[in-house]
């Protein structure tokens, strides 16, 4: 872990960039095909934004070896300040980790931006600043940068028993890799503090953000496809989200145009 990884000028730049976003509040499953047996449609606990490639929840994320096709949709490139973070982290990883933990061709080419805070439900605020037990299946080291209120982070085993407890402070970089912490252990964020009265951009209707987390990972380029190259079902699943993104993003507007039927005005 690297406390103070994000300096004041970088923090200001990132907050300014965040203010330009309109994160998506995705549904867990597709809204255009039947639900999986036994499942109930539900929104994610928090709004999200992806860079590099977007792994929509309804496409069930990247999960090799079988969950690879039509999972990762080419997305906007990193803004300059995040490119600087990536360069620093990649240099640190190559300098400090053994080659066995870093796959050939590894680079931090995707970033999930999670917004943690309170959701308005029935006229009242509900704390949804948490994430349950999970693993990141992208190969190689994972880097996480935190902004805002500090988060209680745990590595846990498959039974949910804590292996290690950490506090992720504002501006901290966390990198984890290897068989023990990356491949076998699960991790979770049971809670995010609210001691400082932090309110982070952007403005999200029905939601207030007190922590933003940037999780950088590696997706093999062969698994990343433009929206226009998705299979017909996957493209139908996420078209509504892409249309929302295209209202604010030239990148996504171009992706939507490229998928338009031939001859369409």
CA dist 37 and 33 (Å) reads 12
Q: What is the pLDDT of residue 117?
A: 96
The helix (H) or strand (E) run that includes residue 239 is helix 232-246
Determine contact, residues 241/159, Cβ cutoff 8 Å: no
Average pLDDT over the chain reads 95
pLDDT digits (tens), the chain, 265 positions: 899 999 999 999 999 999 999 999 999 999 999 999 999 999 999 999 999 999 999 999 999 999 999 999 999 999 999 999 999 999 999 999 999 999 999 999 999 999 999 999 888 999 999 999 999 999 999 999 999 999 999 999 999 999 999 999 999 999 999 999 999 999 999 999 998 888 999 999 999 999 999 999 999 999 999 999 999 999 999 999 999 999 999 999 999 999 987 555 4
CA distance 16 to 232: 37
| List of E strands, the chain | 48-51, 53-54, 72-74, 110-121, 124-127, 131-134, 142-148, 151-156, 162-168, 173-176, 186-192, 200-204, 207-217, 224-225
**Domain 8-258 sits in CATH 3.30.70.1380:** no
pTM to 2 decimal places: 0.95
Nearest by Cα to 129 from 229, 46, 251, 32: 46
**Positive/negative CA dihedral, 63, 54, 112, 245:** negative
DSSP 8-state secondary structure symbol assigned to residue 260? S
Question: Quick one: pLDDT at residue 262?
Answer: 54
Q: Spell out the domain ranges in the chain.
A: 8-258
The pLDDT, as a whole number, for residue 265 is 47
Q: Sign of torsion, CA 90 56 246 201?
A: negative
């Amino acid at each position: 872990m690297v406390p103070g990884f994000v300096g004041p000028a970088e923090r200001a730049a990132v907050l300014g960039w965040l203010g330009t976003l309109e994160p998506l509040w995705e549904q867990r499953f597709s809204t255009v095909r039947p639900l999986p047996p036994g499942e109930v449609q539900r929104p994610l606990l928090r709004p999200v934004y992806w860079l590099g490639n977007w792994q929509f929840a309804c496409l069930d994320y990247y999960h090799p070896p079988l969950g690879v096709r039509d999972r990762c949709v080419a997305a906007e490139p990193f803004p300059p300040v995040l490119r600087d973070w990536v360069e620093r982290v990649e240099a640190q990883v190559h300098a400090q980790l053994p080659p066995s933990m870093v796959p050939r061709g590894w680079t931090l080419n995707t970033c999930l931006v999670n917004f943690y805070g309170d959701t308005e439900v029935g006229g009242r605020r509900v704390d949804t600043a948490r994430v349950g037990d999970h693993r990141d299946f992208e190969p190689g080291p994972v880097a996480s940068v935190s902004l805002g209120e500090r988060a209680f982070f745990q590595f846990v085993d498959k039974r949910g028993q804590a292996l290690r407890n950490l506090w992720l402070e504002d501006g901290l970089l966390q990198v984890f890799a290897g068989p023990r912490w990356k491949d076998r252990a699960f991790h979770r964020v049971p809670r995010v503090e609210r001691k400082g009265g932090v309110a982070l951009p952007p403005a999200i209707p029905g939601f207030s953000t007190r922590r933003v987390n940037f999780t950088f990972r590696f997706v093999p380029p062969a698994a990343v496809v433009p929206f226009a190259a998705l299979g017909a079902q996957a493209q139908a699943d996420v078209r509504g989200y892409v249309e929302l993104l295209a209202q604010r993003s030239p990148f996504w507007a171009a992706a939507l145009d490229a998928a338009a039927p031939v001859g369409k005005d």
